[in-house]
């Protein structure tokens, strides 16, 4: 291999995504293998072909890692996801209650109407996203080694349920106001996965192999 | 009942790739061997998921090589087929052979 090959780096986001879904040991072998083939492809057909190949491999590899992670411990992963769902039900109302308590306590409606409108609409949405991220972190802490599988599955289920509920509501009432809330629902689902990613990244850093540094 | 465990299609292909590659069998070579011989794009994730499953069943064993610079300082994971794996592949081969015996596949289905 020529020295030029050492300067070529695969897409960073792809590398990060694989390390999120793979254990430290798996990531060592998989990322090493991918880098070896990427370097060869980058020298012969070219960097663009190598990058596109790397991304294809990343997407397929993540799908396999996710499904393998679920198959290894299906019951405990399902229990964690159900627990996350119940926890979200428990905490999802907290931001709204807290915001309205503050709004009433300081009579924001009378003194700062615009702030009231923002907090009563987007503020609750932002609170929902923060609560979802908290739930994502809790689910990831419980699903040690399968953080991304558990949070991704929970996020997808909530997204699907939210989407179905929104469509049902719009079809029933003809009022598309609920579609705006769907955006916050999607953001909440994304926040759950981000929470999982944060816990996973912290754990990976704690158990990093010397070659990962 | 002993001898009931047959290999799945991709497990079978992966073990045959390990046997072909002998002591050169690690992620990259296994993936390329399967791609070359089956003419289908295979992901490294599929190869490792299968090899991990086969290792759990005791059909293959793995060991780490030395870290190399072209792999960003990461070690290769080499695989070899165990005696139990050889029995499983022979059993699967025999079953396939028995099922295809007497069938003229080329003339009937081409």
- Which stretch of A25-39, A159-173, B39-53 has the lowest confidence by average pLDDT? A159-173
The reply to whether A42 and A65 lie within a common domain is yes
Domain that holds residue A100: 73-206
Q: CA Rg, chain A, in Å? A: 22
HSE-up of A65 (CA within 13 Å, CB side)?
A: 27
CA distance A4 to chain B (A): 11
Residues in A touching B28 (Cβ below 8 Å): 33, 36-37
Q: State yes or no: pLDDT of A153 exceeds 80.
A: yes
The reply to whether A16 and A100 lie within a common domain is no
Q: Is residue A187 part of a domain?
A: yes
Q: State yes or no: pLDDT of A158 exceeds 50.
A: yes
Assess B26–A contact: CB distance below 8 Å, yes or no: yes
Q: Is residue A25 part of a domain?
A: yes
Rounded to 10 deg, the angle between the A124-142 and A74-91 helix axes is 150
More confident residue, B1 or A35: A35
Instruction: Supply the pLDDT for residue A182.
Output: 82
Q: What is the mean pLDDT of residues A14-27?
A: 90
Q: What is the pLDDT of residues B57-66, one digit of tens each?
A: 999 999 999 8
Instruction: Supply the pLDDT for residue A170.
Output: 81
Q: State yes or no: pLDDT of A78 exceeds 90.
A: yes
Tell me the sheet residues that pair with B74: B68
Q: Which of residues 91-110 of B touch A (CB under 8 A)?
A: none
> What percent of chain A is predicted at pLDDT more than 70?
92
Q: Cα-flanking dihedrals φ and ψ of residue A194, to 5°? A: -60, -40
> What percent of chain A is predicted at pLDDT more than 90?
49
More confident residue, A8 or A15: A15
Instruction: Supply the pLDDT for residue A70.
Output: 86
Q: Which of residues 45-84 of B touch A (CB under 8 A)?
A: 45-46, 48-49, 52-53, 67, 69-77
The reply to whether A128 and A193 lie within a common domain is yes
CA distance linking residue A144 with residue A148, whole number of Å: 10
**Domain spans, chain B:** 9-99
Residue with tokens 């198959």: A71
Instruction: Supply the pLDDT for residue A7.
Output: 59
Q: Is residue A211 part of a domain?
A: no
Q: Indicate the number of domains in chain A.
A: 2
Instruction: Supply the pLDDT for residue A15.
Output: 94
Q: Where are the beta strands (DSSP E) in A78-210?
A: none
Q: Cα-flanking dihedrals φ and ψ of residue B3, to 5°? A: 85, 15
Q: What is the pTM of this model?
A: 0.78
The reply to whether A85 and A133 lie within a common domain is yes
The reply to whether A57 and A84 lie within a common domain is no
Q: Is residue A60 part of a domain?
A: yes
The reply to whether A106 and A197 lie within a common domain is yes
CA distance B94 to chain A (A): 29
Q: Do the Cβ atoms of A32 and B46 come within 8 Å? A: no
Instruction: Supply the pLDDT for residue A188.
Output: 92
Q: Is residue A191 part of a domain?
A: yes
HSE-up of A7 (CA within 13 Å, CB side)?
A: 3
Q: Is residue A212 part of a domain?
A: no
The reply to whether A201 and A190 lie within a common domain is yes
Instruction: Supply the pLDDT for residue B95.
Output: 93
Q: State yes or no: pLDDT of A213 exceeds 50.
A: no
* The CATH classification of domain B9-99, taken from the options 1.10.10.10, 3.40.50.300, 3.50.50.60, 1.10.1040.10: 1.10.10.10
Instruction: Supply the pLDDT for residue A48.
Output: 92
Q: Do the Cβ atoms of A57 and B26 come within 8 Å? A: no
Q: Cα-flanking dihedrals φ and ψ of residue A22, to 5°? A: -100, 150
**Angle of CA points A36, A42, A43, to nearest 5°:** 95
The reply to whether A62 and A109 lie within a common domain is no
Residues in A touching B74 (Cβ below 8 Å): 28-29, 31-32, 35, 211
- Rounded to whole angstroms, what are the CA distances from A210 to A22, A55, A201, B31, B73? 16, 25, 16, 26, 9
- Number of residues that make up chain B: 110
The interface predicted TM-score (ipTM) is 0.86
Structure tokens at A55: 């991304």
Q: State yes or no: pLDDT of A143 exceeds 70.
A: yes
Q: State yes or no: pLDDT of A105 exceeds 90.
A: no
The reply to whether A94 and A61 lie within a common domain is no
Q: State yes or no: pLDDT of A125 exceeds 90.
A: no
Q: Is residue A17 part of a domain?
A: yes
Q: State yes or no: pLDDT of A211 exceeds 70.
A: no
Size of interface A-B (CB pairs under 8 A): 79
Instruction: Supply the pLDDT for residue B1.
Output: 46
Residues in A touching B53 (Cβ below 8 Å): 68
Q: Among A36, A55, A71, identify where a domain stops.
A: A71
Q: What is the mean pLDDT of residues A141-165?
A: 91
Instruction: Supply the pLDDT for residue A181.
Output: 75
CA distance B35 to chain A (A): 13
Mean pLDDT, 10 residues at a time, chain B of 110 residues: 75 97 95 95 94 95 90 93 96 92 73
């Amino acid at each position: 291999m020529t020295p030029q090959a050492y300067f070529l780096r695969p897409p960073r986001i792809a590398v990060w995504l694989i390390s999120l879904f793979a254990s430290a040991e798996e990531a060592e072998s998989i990322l090493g293998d991918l880098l070896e083939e990427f370097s060869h492809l980058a020298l012969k057909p070219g960097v663009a072909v190598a990058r596109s190949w790397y991304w294809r491999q990343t997407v397929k590899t993540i799908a396999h890692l996710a499904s393998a992670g679920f198959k290894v411990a299906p019951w405990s992963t399902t229990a964690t996801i159900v627990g996350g769902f119940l926890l979200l039900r428990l905490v999802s109302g907290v931001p709204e209650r807290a915001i309205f308590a503050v709004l009433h306590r300081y009579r924001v409606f009378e003194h700062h109407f615009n702030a009231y409108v923002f907090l009563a609409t987007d503020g609750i949405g932002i609170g929902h996203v923060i609560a979802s991220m908290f739930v994502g972190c809790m689910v990831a802490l419980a699903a040690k080694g399968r953080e991304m599988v558990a949070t991704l599955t929970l996020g997808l289920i909530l997204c699907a349920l939210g989407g179905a509920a929104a469509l049902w509501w719009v079809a029933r009432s003809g009022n598309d106001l609920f579609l705006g809330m769907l955006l916050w629902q999607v953001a909440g689902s994304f926040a759950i996965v981000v929470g999982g990613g944060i816990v996973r990244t912290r754990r990976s850093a704690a158990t990093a192999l010397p070659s990962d540094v | 009942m002993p001898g009931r465990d047959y290999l799945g299609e991709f497990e079978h292909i992966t073990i045959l790739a390990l046997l072909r590659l002998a002591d050169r069998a690690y992620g990259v070579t296994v993936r390329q061997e399967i791609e070359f011989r089956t003419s289908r794009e295979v992901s490294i994730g599929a190869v490792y998921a299968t090899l991990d499953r086969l290792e759990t069943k005791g059909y293959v064993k793995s060991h780490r090589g030395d870290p190399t610079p072209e792999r960003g300082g990461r070690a290769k994971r080499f695989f070899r087929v165990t005696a139990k794996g050889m029995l499983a592949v022979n059993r699967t081969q025999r079953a396939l052979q028995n099922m295809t015996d007497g069938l003229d596949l080329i003339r009937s289905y081409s």
